[in-house]
Each structure stands twice: as structure tokens, then as C-alpha cells.
């Protein structure tokens, strides 16, 4: 650009985060080596709506369910994750395989490569990861906190460490 004026872009137009999220509907299709396939769909901007559907071989009806993530939305979902992190700090050993995180990141990477290529299928040999899945039952709260935190319990606006009412 020597000797020439650098072009400037127009000033940004303010857009609310909800407006951006409302336009982010997308789907990721994953085909596995054994012929199994999965599709992850994101519709709208409600992070508290979790649904699952599947077709089972030999059953003509699609099976589906809605997952209730707790009276305080996603805070409840992250209790097991927080507990796992605490156990990692205490024991020095991860409580779930790092391969799970690698797989999720690899699927996201493959989907972005596909998007860049106009939605074409993308081979992803880096997804060929195998691991033994440990049992998480000792880290799950299994709804016990819902006996204390109900849908009528007011959600705190901020986090206060050591708040014994919710531990």
C-alpha cells in the first residue's frame, strides 16, 4: 500500500446479541465409519432448550425427548463439570478422558472446514480417536440439588463463593 491511502471500512452498526444468535441456525452432520450417523441442530437462541431424537434400527418411529436442565437453566448442567474440575484439582488426575474434548473440538473443526468449502463433506481422519468411557455416577448430582433449588427458588444475580444455601 505504499503511496496509497488505506481504505477504511464503514463504522460498525450496533446489533444486539439476540439478533445475531437468532440468525445462527445451523446443523452439523457426522457420518461414522460404522455407518452410524448423527446430526446436531441449533435452532434459535434458547440455550436452555435441549432436545434429543434418534432413529433406532428396526423401529419405524423416531424416538425423541426434551431434556430438562434444571430450575436455573444451564447452571444445573455445569454442576457435574464443576465437580469434575474440583476432583481433578484434588487428585491431580482428570476424571474424564481428554479424548472427549479432542473429539468435540475435532468435530467443530471439521464442520468449519466443511462450511468454508461450501458445505461439502469433509474427511476427518483426526476424528479416529478411541478411549474407554469411565463411569461418572460418583460425580453426578442426580437431581439432588433440585430438592433445595426448585423452580420457585429465586436465582441469585451473582456468584458468591461459599454460599452454604446452595452447596
Could you tell me if residue 7 is inside a domain? Answer: no
One DSSP character per residue, the chain reads -TTSPPP-PPPPPP--HHHHHHT--EEEEEE-TTS-EEEEEE-SS-TT-EEEEE--TT--SPEEEEE---TTTHHHHHHHHHHHHHHHHHHSS-SS-HHHHHHHHHHHHHHHHHHHTTS-----GGG----PPPP-TTT--TTGGGGTS-TTSPPPSS--TT-GGG-
Domain count, the chain: 1
Could you tell me if residue 10 is inside a domain? Answer: no
Could you tell me if residue 150 is inside a domain? Answer: no
pLDDT band at 129 (very low <50, low <70, confident <90, very high): confident
pLDDT digits (tens, 9 = 90+) for 31-68: 888 888 888 887 777 777 778 888 888 999 988 888 77
Question: Percent of the chain scored above 70 by pLDDT?
Answer: 75
Could you tell me if residue 14 is inside a domain? Answer: no
Could you tell me if residue 48 is inside a domain? Answer: yes
pLDDT band at 164 (very low <50, low <70, confident <90, very high): low
Could you tell me if residue 64 is inside a domain? Answer: yes
Contacts of 50 (CB under 8 A, 6+ apart): 66, 67, 69
Contacts of 125 (CB under 8 A, 6+ apart): none
Taking alpha carbons only, the member of 143, 138, 126, 133 closest to residue 97 is 133
Per the prediction, the chain carries an average pLDDT of 76
- Asked if residue 18 has pLDDT above 70, the reply is no
Could you tell me if residue 123 is inside a domain? Answer: yes
Q: What pLDDT, on a 0 to 100 scale, did the predictor assign at position 94?
A: 83
Residue 87 CA to residue 95 CA, distance in Å, equals 7
Domain that holds residue 85: 23-129
Could you tell me if residue 2 is inside a domain? Answer: no
Amino acid at each position: 500500500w505504499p503511496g496509497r491511502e488505506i481504505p477504511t471500512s464503514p463504522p460498525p452498526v450496533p446489533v444486539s446479541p439476540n439478533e445475531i444468535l437468532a440468525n445462527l441456525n445451523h446443523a452439523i452432520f457426522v457420518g461414522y465409519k460404522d455407518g452410524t450417523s448423527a446430526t446436531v441442530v441449533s435452532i434459535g437462541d434458547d440455550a436452555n432448550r435441549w432436545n434429543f431424537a434418534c432413529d433406532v434400527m428396526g423401529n419405524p418411529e423416531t424416538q425423541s425427548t426434551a431434556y430438562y436442565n434444571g430450575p436455573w437453566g444451564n447452571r444445573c448442567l455445569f454442576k457435574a463439570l464443576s465437580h469434575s474440575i474440583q476432583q481433578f484439582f484434588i487428585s491431580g488426575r482428570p476424571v474424564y478422558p481428554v479424548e472427549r474434548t479432542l473429539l468435540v473440538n475435532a468435530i467443530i473443526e471439521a464442520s468449519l472446514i466443511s462450511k468454508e468449502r461450501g458445505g461439502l463433506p469433509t474427511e476427518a481422519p483426526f476424528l479416529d480417536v478411541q478411549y474407554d468411557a469411565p463411569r461418572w455416577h460418583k460425580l453426578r448430582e442426580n437431581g439432588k440439588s433440585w430438592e433445595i433449588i426448585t423452580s420457585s427458588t429465586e436465582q441469585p444475580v451473582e456468584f458468591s463463593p461459599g454460599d452454604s444455601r446452595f452447596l
